[in-house]
Amino acid sequence: MPTVTPPLTSPRPSLGCELTAGLVVFLVALPLCLGIGLASGAPKIAPMMAGLIAGVVGGIVVGALSGSHVSVSGPAAGLAAVVMAQIQGLGSFPAFLVAVMLAGVLQVGLGLLRGGGVANFVPNNVIKGLLAAIGLLLVLKQIPHLLGDDTDPEGDESFAQIDGDNTLTEIWKAVSDPLPGAMLVGFAALATLILCEKTKLKKSSMPGPLAAVLVGVAVSELLVALGSPWAIAPSHMVQIPAMGEGGFASLLTFPDFARAFDPAVLLAGVTLAAVASLETLLNLEATMKLDPLHRPADPNRELVAQGVGNALSGAIGGLPITSVIVRSSVNINAGGRTRVSVVFHAVLLAIAVLFLDDLMNRIPLAALAAVLIVTGCKLASPALFVAKWRAGLLQFVPFVATVLAILLTDLLVGVLIGLAVSLAFVFARNMRGGFEVVREDHIAGPVQRFVLGNQVSFLSRARLASLLSRCKAGEQVAIDARATDYVDPDILSVIRDFADEEGPARGVKVSLMGFHDRYRLRDVIQYVDYASREVQASLTPQRVLNLLQEGNERFLSGRRLHRDLARQIDGTAEGQHPMAVVLGCIDSRAPAELLFDLGIGDIFVVRLAGNVCDAKALGSMEFACKAAGAKLIVVLGHTRCGAVKATCDFVHQGVDAAAATGMTNLGSITSAISDAVRMEKATTGDRTGKNMAFVDGVAAINVHNTMLRIEQDSPALKKLVETGVIGIVGAMYDVASGRVRFLESVARNVALPLSSESEHGVAARGAARPGADA
């Protein structure tokens, strides 16, 4: 019964951990919602409340409906520029809210139509680039806040800022004129985070980000209590707008449904739906990669959840909602593993707005900046860049292009640029791909085989035409479409022209195979890939040996020749003209045709246990060489041979094989091998079948002895050897590696490179003729 591997599980997260993680996310989300609302360009009071409403709806509604366990949704900095442009274009924030509701309805429809699958077409290097860029943005954008420069709203991710500066000039301004109190708070919070990460405090039940915020608040309050000139002004704190006499309702803005059918509003809704859906799908994919439990999240369900959230957010005055990677990563780093932390952070946002505005407005932005800087460092770790570099330029260049583009523009533009670079690499690969060219050394000569891929597009046309134009007179070219489902018409045109006109005119023999009937290119084979009479007559013993060596190299590397076995059957049906005869063992692990990468009709194979040579084997080899024209005899032994092992044990024990086993005919095999056992002098210790080195040495000597017996016992074969008509060579096949090593000892009419002979060949070369040491 097969063993079933249980699914990976993790300890069930405690409610306390989830609530604590939700509290950390709340502390980070609060200023981000306010800042993104301010960056949206809505009227004075509405924008910050619009951001907070989006954060509450995104956390509670989308968090409850989403298929993701850790993704946090809310107002997105990547949409700020789009939102500002749409508000200005419509001339009314209430009209814009109608567009937000429409975008939500469109998202629900897109999810129900399973449009979330578009996320699968975003390359992994772009997703990784998005994560790294967000990490770097967090660090670069939060450095000014850490030093007390809060002119750019929290959450702004664009290079060009709404305050007139850009990311780099803002850092220079902050470094040139830091605010001492904010800097003290920021560095105290940063030190707390580092201590919580690098010391035993990491095991504390209180997450580092929460501890950092509490330390920051404590330092700020201490400066105020001491009357210090470094005390931080309210403008550098979280700023929740205060309620007027009308209470909470006075802060809300409602849609202007009178403009529901305004074409400009409809276009704005479509634009928001497209942009918000794309950003959500990208962030969802990135969040899944951050999830330590690697749980999948259905993108279609996510679109429906986002659509419901946007429809509700627009109805009560909120900004558009998307999945947001910054808050999601903070949630994961704080220990959030379920939707509880996501929903709880939104509940805290609502409570803070309604009841705790004075308390929340005591949190320094510098302390929150420290939390976001550490989060950014985790997202943009050097290890990620190193891993992409090691993956090669095809992965690294689009990754870096995405990172730089996001840093120098904004999230959506940067991702689109990263996608464009990735597509450029895809086009480049397709221009160089679509097919591969393999040189195959068949028995009758080399063939240039163009192996077409499953899909061959027009992008491969230039390369294919260029390579075909280089083919010279007398060359064999095979265009193989057996694994191809689609060939572009431009490619077919090149192939037809070359096969019908250009190739024949230049003396190139062109073979076609495997094209679907709809392409009207019938199979034409002009090369010979089996041992025909003409091929056999042209071969020498040395050439045959070279072909066998090359075949074994292909077998080892997995680059076996393409063979049309049905055509070989037809070609050899009327007669056979093999180039060699192999005397091998019956061992199932040593099939000669496979080891030498040969086809039907290429060799004779005689197989006897222990590759011993008796009268029947000699008669078979005489027929193969004298009657059928084979040019080479190969005696093929192998490592870990069972017949040799048994013979070693019988000789060591001094028993007869038949008497020991009850197999009356086994002695005809072991008696022929026993001479080799006695001739092996290198081993003085264990001389039984358990010593594999001893067994393999005996097997090599047995090959040597068999080669000598062939000439001694067959005058016909001896004469063919002496006249140079045939050659004889011994070889050992390693059943562990797949390599065949040819032995130089007593090789006749063939020459071997020194590297072809193994240590067993050296042992065999030094052995005496059979019976000399008996």
Residue 7 Cα to chain centre, angstroms = 22
Average pLDDT over residues 195-220: 80
Distances (CA, A) of 424 to 238, 385, 427, 431, 434: 44, 21, 5, 10, 16
Find the Cα–Cα–Cα–Cα dihedral 332, 337, 342, 344, rounded to 10°. -120
Tell me what pLDDT residue 756 has: 52
* 559 vs 607, higher pLDDT: 607
**Residue 85 pLDDT grade (very low, low, confident, very high; cuts 50, 70, 90):** confident
**Residue 55: how many CA atoms within 13 Å on its side-chain side?**
34
Tell me what pLDDT residue 753 has: 66
What percentage of the chain has pLDDT greater than the value 90? 44
- Location of structure tokens 């010593």: 691
* 32 vs 113, higher pLDDT: 113
44, pLDDT greater than 90: no
64, pLDDT greater than 60: yes
Q: Where are the alpha helices (DSSP H) in 439-591?
A: 461-469, 489-497, 503-506, 533-538, 541-557, 565-572
**Residue 444 pLDDT grade (very low, low, confident, very high; cuts 50, 70, 90):** confident
Average pLDDT over residues 127-147: 86
Tell me what pLDDT residue 667 has: 83
> pTM for the full model?
0.64
Which of 120-134, 141-155, 637-651 is the most confident on average?
A: 637-651
Contacts of 736 (CB under 8 A, 6+ apart): 639, 640
Average pLDDT over residues 533-538: 86
Average pLDDT over residues 221-230: 91
Q: Where are the alpha helices (DSSP H) in 124-179?
A: 124-146, 167-176
**pLDDT tens digits, residue range 266-297?**
999 999 998 899 889 988 988 998 889 889 89
467, pLDDT greater than 70: yes
Contacts of 14 (CB under 8 A, 6+ apart): none
Tell me what pLDDT residue 286 has: 87
| Whole-number average pLDDT of the chain | 86
CA-closest candidate to residue 272, choices 60, 515, 101, 74: 101
**pLDDT tens digits, residue range 604-663?**
999 999 999 999 999 999 999 999 999 999 999 999 999 999 999 888 888 886 667 778
Tell me what pLDDT residue 246 has: 56
110, pLDDT greater than 50: yes
Tell me what pLDDT residue 7 has: 44
CA distance 695 to 702: 10
CA distance 665 to 228: 107
Range from 59-63, 232-236, 579-583, 705-709 carrying the lowest mean pLDDT? 232-236
Average pLDDT over residues 478-500: 92
CA distance 723 to 631: 12
Number of neighbouring beta carbons within 10 Å of residue 653: 10
CA distance 387 to 401: 16
CA distance 609 to 527: 37
Tell me what pLDDT residue 772 has: 32
Average pLDDT over residues 61-78: 90
Contact (CB, 8 A) for 359 and 240: no
Tell me what pLDDT residue 150 has: 81
Contact (CB, 8 A) for 311 and 101: yes
Bridge partners, residue 603, by sequence: 580
Tell me what pLDDT residue 248 has: 64
**pLDDT tens digits, residue range 379-432?**
888 888 998 898 888 889 999 999 999 888 877 788 889 889 988 888 877 777
CA distance 676 to 648: 9
Contacts of 358 (CB under 8 A, 6+ apart): none
Tell me the residue type at 548.
L
